[in-house]
């Protein structure tokens, strides 16, 4: 594998028109982080997650093992660091008072899907790119530690979303209303992942994949909207017997 991994933050940055000039130091750090993640992902997919040591990833990138851990706190995060981008985007969008919670989640999902579609459109061989994406998905499913890391990141995303929803409603972050709302919103991510797995068939064009995946996500979102798009009630305290 030699295709670069997806820049999941690209869609959001482009939409918001981030016009700040990137300094040389920031650019070097971003490129090193990308190189480490790309190299690790390629090695894990080719040989298996457990068969590759972090020291080997470091050697392949010409850096020390300590440098790798300066960028990624765990071996699993070398592959699955996307939730950090998602968390920042969720906090920003959910805090916008003009957006309903479902609209905010859909904006983040659309940006992430857009980044994937842009990556596909850049590939010289889209069919081979689809095969690589499927192998990446298979790697996660076949690796217990990666699945556990994914669950942990989902829990962190739910907590972050609940905190932001509580702030805009006046409830406490541990109150049941923001907790169930956040859990329901994060349920849209597995819908998008499954839709991508279904529609990335090597036959549809990237534009057709975007349309089909978006359609599936919107179907799920409509079921959530009626319950979540009204104002969340502030904590009412324990029920009276």
79: domain CATH number?
A: 1.10.357.10
Confidence of residue 63 (pLDDT cuts 50, 70, 90): very high
- Identify whether 189 is part of a domain: yes
Q: Looking at the 3D structure of the chain, how many domains does it have?
A: 1
Q: Which two tokens stand for residue 23?
A: 């300094």
* Parent domain of 204: 74-228
Determine, yes or no, domain membership for 238: no
In the three-class reduction of DSSP (H, G, I as helix; E, B as strand; rest coil), residue 127 is classed as helix
- Write down the residue that tokens 């036959």 correspond to: 203
Give which of 15, 222, 23 is closest to 107, Cα–Cα. Answer: 15
Q: Is 21 within the bounds of a domain?
A: no
| Structure confidence at residue 139 (pLDDT) | 92
Task: Report the run of H or E that residue 91 belongs to, with start and end.
Answer: helix 82-94
Q: Give the distance, in angstroms, between the CA of residue 156 and the centroid of all CA atoms in the same chain.
A: 12
Let me know if residue 17 belongs to a domain: no
The pLDDT value given to residue 133: 87
Q: Within a domain: residue 220?
A: yes
SS3 of the chain: helix, strand, coil, percent, to 5: 70, 0, 30
Q: For residue 111, is it within any domain?
A: yes
Residue 170, phi-psi category: left (phi > 0), alpha (psi -120 to 50), beta (remainder): left
Question: With a threshold of 0.85, does the pTM exceed it?
Answer: no
Asked if the structure places residue 133 within a domain, the reply is: yes
Asked if residue 206 is part of any domain, the answer here is: yes
Q: What is the pLDDT of residues 157-214, one digit of tens each?
A: 999 999 999 998 888 889 999 999 999 999 999 999 999 989 988 889 999 999 999 9
Phi, psi of 9, deg, nearest 5:
-90, -5
The tokens describing 18, both together, are 């981030």
């Amino acid at each position: 594998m030699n295709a670069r991994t997806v820049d999941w933050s690209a869609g959001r940055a482009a939409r918001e028109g981030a016009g700040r000039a990137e300094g040389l130091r920031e650019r070097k750090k971003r490129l090193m982080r990308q190189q480490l993640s790309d190299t690790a992902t390629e090695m894990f997919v080719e040989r298996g997650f457990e068969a590759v040591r972090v020291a080997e990833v470091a050697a392949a990138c010409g850096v020390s093992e300590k440098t790798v851990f300066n960028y990624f706190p765990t071996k699993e995060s070398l592959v699955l660091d996307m939730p950090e981008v998602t968390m920042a985007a969720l906090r920003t969008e959910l805090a916008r008072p003009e957006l309903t919670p479902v609209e905010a989640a859909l904006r983040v999902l659309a940006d992430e899907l857009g980044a994937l579609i842009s990556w596909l459109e850049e590939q010289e061989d889209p069919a081979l790119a689809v095969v690589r994406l499927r192998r990446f998905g298979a790697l996660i499913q076949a690796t217990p530690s990666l699945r556990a890391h994914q669950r942990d990141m989902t829990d962190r995303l739910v907590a972050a979303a609940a905190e932001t929803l509580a702030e805009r409603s006046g409830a406490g972050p541990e109150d049941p209303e923001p907790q169930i709302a956040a859990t329901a919103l994060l349920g849209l991510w597995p819908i998008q992942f499954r839709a991508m797995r279904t529609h990335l068939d090597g036959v549809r064009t990237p534009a057709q994949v975007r349309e089909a995946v978006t359609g599936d996500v919107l179907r799920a979102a409509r079921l959530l909207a009626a319950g979540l798009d009204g104002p969340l009630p502030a904590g009412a305290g324990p029920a009276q017997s």
